[in-house]
Structure 1
Amino acid sequence: MIKYDLHSHTTFSDGRLSVAELLERATEKGVDVLAITDHDTTAAITPARHYIKEHALNLELISGVEISTKWQSFEIHIVGLSVDIANPKLTALLQTQQAKREARAKEIGQRLAKRGYEGIYDRAKELAASAEITRAHFAAALVERGVAKDIQGVFKKFLARNKTGYVPSQWCDMATAIDAIKTAGGVSVLAHPARYQMSSKWLRKLLNEFKSVGGQAMEVAQPQQAPCERQFLGQLSQEYGLLASQGSDFHYPMPWLELGKNLYLPKDCQGVWQFWQTDEERLQ
């Protein structure tokens, strides 16, 4: 049985493993098909292709990206799978997203500095290195300052809505992200739908709009997930005529979340992998 993990991150966004480390770990954990889906960037894909070829890894790579969008008052993430990373429309959108991310980061840094946490932006940039800066980098910088014990604590105290360092996002809308993914030959997937802290009624509204603007699939299975949640999401995917995806949303090793761990679809769900072109096929 093929093991798919279709949501993972590297140090090109807010993951903690390099491309090489992620690929080696995926192979070690028995993953057969891995999608790298960094936030608003595809910078990891080319080095990943080279590494797999150079080291003859028994691993199929799916070129992906996770695009941040704005819907109502929610930040909704759309994963693009099997995209052409050289597509002009996708490239232009990601460049715009990256500029918005940098502007937001500077505003977060300014707000924190006004409350006495000076230099946090500079430290977050250092931690991000060549990657796209995210709130996770700010959280890591604040943990270093000793203001909270862990990243979750920092988000709760400083970066959540109505907190000191919260800055509303200005991301594109879902239709724009989905159109860019489609133009790049990819499949658009609603990422981790159970995480948005919305009621079932609102989730159905989200799925309706996602489908109406061209959305094709939704994540159904993740490692740390109650069976009833997986079943519910599987039922929703069938109800709305959406393909089903699965992914760990791996950022770094932790006891309860691992590449390829506990990933399977409920009965009767139609796997998204049946409907894309692989990297190998695309490059032939």
Structure 2
Amino acid sequence: MIDLHCHTLHSDGTDTPERLALLAEEAKLTALCLTDHDTLGGIPEFLAMQPQVKVRLLVGTELSCRFLGRSLHVLGLLVDPTDVRFQTRLDELRQRRDDRNLRMITRLGELGCPVTYEDVQAQAETPLISRVHFAKALAARGFVRRAPEAFERLIGDDCPGFVPREELSPVEATRWIREAGGVPVVAHPGRFAGGAFRWDEAMRDLQREGMEGLEAYYGEYRAAEQKYFVALGASLGMVVTGGSDYHGANKPGLRLGAGRGGLKVPDDLLDALERQQKGGTYR
């Protein structure tokens, strides 16, 4: 089994890249792709573990796009970590994130929940700050009882404390990923705009904009969702991938490689992904 979607403390997870490689070995995975948000910062430590483990360690990232007025996450799988242009583009995305974070500090203060940038930074072990760290800071200051409540009441999408950041279009995201030698894949489509959203036509639109795959196996899908997305990928001729979306302690009960317990991503999906990588437009 493989896992092509996971996070470390370099974005919004809690484990180090080294720990993630060891967990993959314990889970007897054959391949693991690290996909931190907007960064390849943990990749050198991750790949340095390859001599110590049998599991194949692969390079990826997760970017945010704007699609139909909402945030759509896109996995860039098998990107080249030495691609200087891609690194520069990721630096630009992190600057956009930093700008959004400062605006969110102001918004929360206006809502009677003042936290400082230092409060939020104290919850992060790396320079990249996400809403997870805001949630922990809000809990630490007593504005919510637990960090998940901050997403429910304050900083989740459509909540009063949420501040959107400038996001890529799907065309931009797919081009960036493909030019970096990777394969652009729609992450957890079943979590976009609610489970009732019908993806048939939307995925065709994204395919026309350069998307090459979709995440049909996911750590929190129900069996019916997985079946639907596997069939949709096949009908469109898109590569199908899968992953747990492991975040360590930030997603309690969700295990690397196994998700909530029933996830099994077949090895042969990686073969198809690598064939797609070699046959893509920019390679």
- Provide the TM-score with structure 2 as the length reference: 0.89
Give 1:203 shift: 2.5
Aligned partners of 1:248 and 1:257 also within 8 Å: yes
Question: What corresponds to 1:264 in structure 2?
Answer: 264
Cα deviation, 1:74-107, whole Å, max 9, x if unaligned, reads 1011101111012133222211110100000010
Question: What corresponds to 2:125 in structure 1?
Answer: 129
Aligned partners of 2:2 and 2:265 also within 8 Å: no
Cα deviation, 1:182-238, whole Å, max 9, x if unaligned, reads 111111110000001247665334312220021111001123321111101111111
Question: Secondary structure of 1:260's partner?
Answer: coil
Give 1:163 shift: 2.8
Number of residue pairs the alignment of both structures matches: 271
Question: What corresponds to 2:278 in structure 1?
Answer: none
Question: What corresponds to 1:181 in structure 2?
Answer: 177
Cα deviation, 1:224-270, whole Å, max 9, x if unaligned, reads 3211111011111112211111100000155641111133359xx97
> Unaligned stretches of 5+ in structure 1?
278-284
Counterpart CA distance in 1 for 2:225 and 2:253 is 17
Aligned partners of 1:243 and 1:270 also within 8 Å: no
Runs of 4+ more than 6 Å apart:
none
Q: Are the structure 2 counterparts of residues 60 and 156 from structure 1 closer, same or farther at C-alpha, using a change threshold of 3 Å?
A: same
> Unaligned stretches of 5+ in structure 2?
276-283
Counterpart CA distance in 1 for 2:127 and 2:29 is 25
Does 2:55 align with 1:59? yes
Q: Could you say what the CA RMSD is over the residues aligned between the two structures, in angstroms?
A: 2.1
Question: What corresponds to 1:141 in structure 2?
Answer: 137
Question: Secondary structure of 1:22's partner?
Answer: helix
Aligned partners of 1:104 and 1:169 also within 8 Å: yes
Paired amino acid for 1:31: L
Question: What corresponds to 1:99 in structure 2?
Answer: 95
Question: What corresponds to 1:159 in structure 2?
Answer: 155
Question: What corresponds to 1:280 in structure 2?
Answer: none
Q: Alignment partner for residue 74 of structure 1, among 70, 75, 78?
A: 70
Give 1:19 shift: 1.2
Paired amino acid for 1:259: L
Aligned partners of 2:10 and 2:41 also within 8 Å: yes
Q: Are the structure 2 counterparts of residues 89 and 72 from structure 1 closer, same or farther at C-alpha, using a change threshold of 3 Å?
A: farther
1:194-233 map, 5 Å: 194-198=190-194, 203-233=199-229
